[in-house]
Amino acid sequence: MPSRPQIVAYFLIVLFLCSWHLDHGTNDSTLSRAMAVSAIVETGSSEFTAHQALTGDKALVDGRYYTDKAPLPTWILVPFWALARVLGAVPTQPDGSSYATLLRIGGFFWGSVPFACIAVVLWTRLYAWGSGIGAKALAVALPLFGSFLFVYSGSFYNHIGAALFVLLSTLALEKERPLLAGLWASAALLTDTAVIVVIAVQFAQVAAFRPIGAGIRFSVATAVGLLLLMLNNHIITGSALTFPSAMAANYPHMKQGLGFRGWSMDALLGLTVSLYRGLFIYMPALIALVLIRPLSSWRAWAADPFVLPAIALIIAYAAHSTWSGGWTYGPRYITCSALLLLAFMLKHLRTDRKSLLALFGLATVGALCALAAISTLGYSLPSGITNPLVDLVWPAVRAGRWTDAQLPVLLGLSPATSTLLYLFTWALGVLLLTRIDHRIEHAPVPLS
């Protein structure tokens, strides 16, 4: 098992690699969260009517504007922005010019940190599972870096944070710790309300296959998140059962059934195998799911806390009007499904040479694509472009349109020089991760 210093080293290396690019773009979704944070710190209220023209993602309640996002990312970032203001950060302005610092802070704490935590959790769990994979560090890091999660790892979205909480909840269920699982599920729900689908399936599994006490503990702990979510609803919309997203100012379809419509095969294919938003295109390591050791019985499949919840969330979004995710790199709305399937695959992957070569080969292809995207256009790939990797990302690489959302650029380096330096740093970082793996001492260290 890894020692604590090795765990810390692994975490810091991944964190450094995924916080090189910190998004400061004025995206509707990230700005909506940032504006709520700024409003609380600078006015004492989450209302941002004075700045509302900057974003299309907002709830309109009695003539006042609020974020339509889940509340936990805002709540967690408030003290960090308050500290930044004390240290001299410029207050945000209605023209949007001063939100860059706040967006970078949000990207670090809600993109980079959870991404690094996910890597560490999966790496240590491979040892706990007794996996026969020799290069465990590479088996975890390469699929993650070779996925759409990496492209979002420096942005103030909620997807990676919610996926981390769902993963921790699922692992707690696996270890027969339903109370802890429910608390992590509460955190996930407060970060992304869509994970209610995952939680509902996992609750049904606990109720069907675990002692009744486990179901009670899981549901009681999860109720904490539900109550806090209802409180936030009441504060903003005046009704505990009315979500801010149901009062979205610019998306009338959200006012009818929260955007759910008839189930669509086109949406399902679009979320899974299409060049547009396909999970197996933007996280190709998951194709290695065909190489896993199958579970022993139907009961094992039905009780497994990874697979059915992941599939349920994908199916739910195939029935939602926003399934494509707008301007995005990959299927960002099903990030939780992607992570659960990756964990399941790593746990059950065959360890013969052919299977491991397939995993690492697919992950390498994904890493090349993700590095190309994060170095140029990031996640801002417009809707309606059916093959954005070929039509947008690779032309940007050939034209040398390197992003300025890199920390060395803030220090005076050009985007081109910074990108070249990052590619070298990334390769060195991955090599260091594998070296940590090679030096693991066999003495077990308790991790929980």
Reported as a single tens digit per residue, the pLDDT across 13-51 is: 999 999 999 999 888 999 999 999 999 999 999 999 999
For residue 8, give both structure tokens. 């810390």
Residue 408 CB contacts under 8 Å (≥ 6 apart), including other chains: 20, 417, 418, 421, 422
User: Would you say residue 182 has pLDDT above 90?
Assistant: yes
Helix, strand or coil for residue 66? strand
For residue 264, give both structure tokens. 């669509």
Q: Is residue 441 very low, low, confident or very high in pLDDT (cuts 50, 70, 90)?
A: very low
User: What is the Rg, in whole angstroms, of the alpha carbon atoms belonging to the chain?
Assistant: 21
Please say whether the beta carbons of 343 and 170 come within 8 A. Answer: yes
Query: 45: phi > 0 → left, psi -120 to 50 → alpha, else beta; which?
Result: beta
Among the residue ranges 15-24, 127-136, 270-279, 417-426, the one predicted with the least confidence is: 127-136
User: Would you say residue 92 has pLDDT above 90?
Assistant: no
| 159, burial (CB in 10 Å: exposed 0-12, middle 13-18, buried 19+) | buried
Q: What's residue 260's pLDDT?
A: 67
Stretch 268-282: mean pLDDT: 97
For residue 30, give both structure tokens. 């990230």
For residue 113, give both structure tokens. 């940190």
Q: What's residue 76's pLDDT?
A: 97
Q: How far apart are CA 81 and CA 89, in angstroms?
A: 8
**Among 168, 70, 175, CA closest to 117:** 168
Residue 96 CB contacts under 8 Å (≥ 6 apart), including other chains: 26, 31, 51, 54
Residue 357 CB contacts under 8 Å (≥ 6 apart), including other chains: none
Which pLDDT tens digit goes with each residue over 240-272? Answer: 989 998 888 887 665 565 666 767 899 999 999
For residue 128, give both structure tokens. 């706990």
Q: How far apart are CA 325 and CA 309, in angstroms?
A: 20
Please report, as a single letter, which amino acid is at residue 74. Answer: T
Q: Which residue has the tokens 């001492």?
A: 441
For residue 355, give both structure tokens. 């299977």
**Mean pLDDT over each residue of the chain, to the nearest integer:** 93
Q: Considering Cα of 405, then 32, then 370, then 327, what sign does the dihedral take?
A: negative
Q: What's residue 337's pLDDT?
A: 98
Q: How far apart are CA 435 and CA 432, in angstroms?
A: 5
User: Would you say residue 347 has pLDDT above 50?
Assistant: yes
Helix, strand or coil for residue 253? helix
Global pTM? Answer: 0.95
Stretch 99-107: mean pLDDT: 95
Q: How far apart are CA 345 and CA 421, in angstroms?
A: 33
Q: What's residue 252's pLDDT?
A: 65
For residue 318, give both structure tokens. 């195939």
Residue 253: half-sphere exposure toward Cβ, Cα within 13 Å: 9
Helix, strand or coil for residue 21? strand
Q: Considering Cα of 135, then 136, then 139, then 142, what sign does the dihedral take?
A: negative
Q: What is the dihedral of CA 232, 236, 241, 247, to 10 degrees?
A: -130
Stretch 220-225: mean pLDDT: 97
User: Would you say residue 431 has pLDDT above 60?
Assistant: yes
For residue 281, give both structure tokens. 């295109």
* H/E element, 59: strand 59-61
User: Would you say residue 72 has pLDDT above 90?
Assistant: yes
DSSP string, 390-432: IIIIHHHHHHT---S-BHHHHTT--HHHHHHHHHHHHHHHHHH
CA 105 vs CA 79, 155, 157, 419: distances in Å = 11, 9, 12, 21
Q: How far apart are CA 276 and CA 383, in angstroms?
A: 9
**Cα distance between the two ends of the chain:** 13
Please say whether the beta carbons of 376 and 401 come within 8 A. Answer: yes
Q: What's residue 423's pLDDT?
A: 97
